[in-house]
Structures are given as C-alpha cells and as structure tokens.
Amino acid sequence: MKPDTFTEQLASPHPVGAMVALYRTRVYRFSNDPRHYVLAETLEERYAQGIAPASTSLAYVKAVLDQIRSTGQPLPFNPDIAVRENIDIQQELDARTRYAPKPMPEHSPTTTVFIIGAPRSGTSHLYNCLAYTGRYSYFTTASCWAWPVRNLTHTARRSFETMGDQVLSVDNKNTRIIPGLVMPYEAEDLYARAIPAYQHLGGHTYNLTPAQTKDAPLLTANVQAHCRHFNRRAFLTKSPFNSLRIPQLDAATGHRALFVNITRDQAGTADSMRRNRFRFHRDGRPLTEEAAWGVFTTTIARDTPSSRTITIKHRDLLANGRVELDRVRRWIAEA
C-alpha cells in the first residue's frame, strides 16, 4: 500500500490487508511461537509495500484467525507457508535478537499514566486523543512484546501522529487493521504475559481471574524501549483489563503511577459490549454485560489511589473534547 492511501483506508480497510494485520496482532497475543510473529510481520510489511500474499498463504492466515476465534489458540505454525513466500524464518529471527527487551534504566519514564475503565467505555478514544498530542510515549499496534520497537522504524509503517486529525474520528476496529498504520494500542500481548488477569476463551470472550504479577521486568523493559524510541519521558498506556491490575501496576512503578479513569453509564456500556460481542466470565460462570460493567467499575473504585486518579466522563469527552483533554493534560503535568 502506498503511503498516500492510508487516509482512504480509514473508512474502509481492504479485506486482505485487514486479515494480514489482524493475523499479526492476534498471534503476538495468543501464540508463544515467534515464527508466527516473523511470518505475520513479513506478510504485512510486504502488503504495505504493494505485494500481496499468495492465495494459499491467505487461506492459512484465515484458518489461524478462525481457530483463535473458536478456541482462543492459533493453529500450529506451518513452515510450508514461509517457504512458499520465500521467507527465511531463522534468518529473520536472528535479525530480531538485538531488539529483544532489556533493562534501560536511563530511559525510565518520569511519569507513567494508565487509562482505565470498563471495556467499551471510551478508553481507546481518550488514549488516541492524548497520544496524538505528541507529548507521550506509548505502546502501538506495531509493538511486539518479544522485540518491542523493532517494527516502529520500518519504512512501510507510518505513525498516526503524521496524519490529519480525521484519524481520531475512526473506530479502532478500523485503524488497527490497516497494514502499516501505527496507532496507540492496548498491548495485551505484553500485559497478559507480565500481569495475567484472565483466560482467553475465544473471540472476545474472557474468564476473569485474580491479577498476578508474573514478569514485571518484561513490562518495564518494554516501557523503557518505547520511551527511548519516542524520546519522551512521559509514558501513556491503556487497556480495560488494567482496571483489574491496578495494585500490581502501581507497585511496578514504585507507587507513582497516575490513573485516568473514563466512565460511561452502565446501559450504554453494556449495550456496546453486546453489539461488539464482548463476553466475560468469572469463576467459570458467564456474566451479563451489566454485571461485567459492575466488576470493572467496582474494582476501579476499590483499588485506585484517590490522590493520583482523575475521572473523566465519556459523554463529556464527546461533547467537549478539547476542554476535557486540556483538563486531563494539565492534571498529568501538575500531578
């Protein structure tokens, strides 16, 4: 895809490109086989440069995505696909070794801001709007937990910060599936490994579990890598699941984290969950969408440190975006 077509893709991403981009983000998150990552990255980078995958490769990509939707796990890596696409997997893996996450204390953020809220309450829109200001480092749709910023400088990729603000009016369901477009992202491929808080059951269905810190250094190294890449010492991140990880995230930052809590009414949030097929279980039992909203919101109310938390309402962000964003930015700068 030529760079001047990114804007055209915002309204209607091409189905082939969407499949390839989604394959990459999904295998980052739900596979532990880095060969999947290499195949997905190469297919997407080539597509962004105008080279489409072979039909057999696309059939395999579709089958992998269907399997993740059905069971929560991808199909095994198929080396024959890489051979047909003329991709030397081992050579590509070796080239990525220098991008592996490693401690970089000199690039630790001076400010770490977590955007929290129930799923479908506006966390993504708030995240995009704040990141677009150019004041913050952040995880992106091109970031990978295994080699954090390797993809961000590839010539086939373009930051949303270089585009007009129409990119902020498009639902993330579109922006995250445009090959080469680099947007802020929730980085659950990283968070689910560093501080697991659920079991993925397939599609958008999750069994919520008590959050436990499993690999805090992995999270820290990824944050530092992005601060170095962006050359910005304030770090901004969002994931609705981080609403369930507040004590662990606060501890990982030395109890200096800031929390921006975006709220939306229960009925509106629950309706959006239903329309987008988000489903949650707890202790193996399904929750209604209204009950899921309650789990997230009550956990936030219980766990956030009041002196380091600001609340913004979804309806106010939509009605008075500039005013609300200025209020949040000032609070972050002064906190």
Domain assignments of the chain as residue spans, ordered by start: 3-98, 105-139+184-334
Per-residue pLDDT for 32 more than 80? yes
Dist CA 249 CA 229 (whole Å): 22
Lowest average pLDDT, out of 6-10, 34-38, 293-297, goes to 6-10
Per-residue pLDDT for 5 more than 80? no
Dist CA 248 CA 214 (whole Å): 10
Quick: pLDDT tens for 280-290: 999 889 999 99
Per-residue pLDDT for 3 more than 80? no
Residues of the chain with pLDDT > 70, as a percent, come to 99
Amino acid at 244: L
CATH architecture of the domain with range 105-139+184-334: 3-Layer(aba) Sandwich (3.40)
Confidence class of residue 164 from pLDDT cuts 50, 70 and 90?
A: confident
Q: How far is the first Cα of the chain from the last one, in angstroms, to the nearest whole number?
A: 42
**Model pLDDT, residue 331:** 97
Confidence class of residue 9 from pLDDT cuts 50, 70 and 90?
A: confident
Quick: pLDDT tens for 221-276: 999 999 999 999 999 999 999 999 999 999 999 999 999 999 999 999 999 999 99
**Rg, the chain, Cα only:** 19
Lowest average pLDDT, out of 102-111, 156-165, 183-192, 305-314, goes to 156-165
Amino acid at 99: Y
Quick: pLDDT tens for 53-96: 999 999 999 999 999 999 999 999 999 999 999 999 999 999 99
Lowest average pLDDT, out of 147-151, 164-168, 216-220, 266-270, goes to 164-168
Quick: pLDDT tens for 120-161: 999 999 999 999 999 999 999 999 999 999 999 888 899 999
Model pTM? 0.94
Mean pLDDT of the chain: 94
**Model pLDDT, residue 334:** 94
Over range 293-306, report the average pLDDT.
98
Confidence class of residue 2 from pLDDT cuts 50, 70 and 90?
A: very low
Residue whose C-alpha is closest to residue 188's, from 241, 113, 226, 247: 241
**Model pLDDT, residue 244:** 98
